[in-house]
Amino acid sequence: MAKRKKQRDYTKYENPFLYDRREGESDLHYYRRLAKQADQRLVRLKQLSEQDKFKNVTKYSYARAMRDIQGWSGYQATRFNTKPPENKKQLMAKIADMRNFLEAPTSTKSGIIAVYQQRADTINKKYGTDFTWEDLGNYFEAAKASNTDSKYGSSTELRAMAVIQANQDEVKKQIEQHKKKHLTVDNPRLQEAIDDMLKDRKLKVQQFFKG
């Protein structure tokens, strides 16, 4: 009997205590250590974005880190490891920003896969869809940008996604014929979410079509 290939466990992608202050470590040494680690990770994420399945990785925690960096060092800044703030309160605030980035699941390749693969598995099982982790990563980032998730709630959004995917042939046909995209369901709230998703170009519903 052929030996079954062991599935990699992406849930063990980070040590939760890795970025705690070490015994006897000064504020400055702690700052410099985290800054170097954070900057190295930013570089790796940028390199990862050159791979086909990871083109959007800079939209996750990377984007938040860049906003924090520019808040500390100006619009042109791209790295955490600059002159530390002289004010201790500000120094600790910047350390907190670096920790937030380093501890974010989407700051590593394995973390990104773990977060969105888990979501994809849950959604596919619950709604009978076949989304990949890439689909979910792209969707949730787009949903944040368009604010649809806060408008309808994640459960309604996911049901709407499932309806769209289940009727992808009809939606494709409507797109090809340049018609207004429309699907009809009995639930008014779900209907509103579907209508919004089909007309919102930011969500790019075509990305959920298989084949």
From the first residue on, what is the mean pLDDT of each consecutive set of 10 residues in the chain (211 residues)? 44 63 93 97 96 86 94 95 95 95 91 86 78 76 54 61 66 51 61 67 46 43
66, 80: one domain: yes
Whether residues 97 and 125 share a domain: the answer is: no
Is residue 7 situated within a structural domain? no
pLDDT at position 206 = 46
pLDDT of residue 189: 63
Do the domain assignments include residue 4? no
Whole-angstrom CA distances from 122 to 23, 156, 158 are 41, 15, 11
Residue 53 is predicted with a pLDDT of 83
* Structural domain includes residue 189: yes
Tell me the residue type at 3.
K
Domain identity same for 51 and 95: yes
Domain that holds residue 39: 27-107
The pLDDT of residue 47 is 96
Residue 77: predicted pLDDT: 95
Q: What is the pLDDT of residue 99?
A: 94
Residue 76 and residue 40 share a domain: yes
Task: Judge whether 60 lies within some domain.
Answer: yes
Work out how many domains the chain is built from and give that number.
Answer: 2
82 and 133, same domain (yes or no) = no
The full DSSP string for 13-82 is ---TTTTSPPTT--HHHHHHHHHHHHHHHHHHHHHHTTSGGGTTGGGTHHHHHHHHHHHHH-TT---S-S
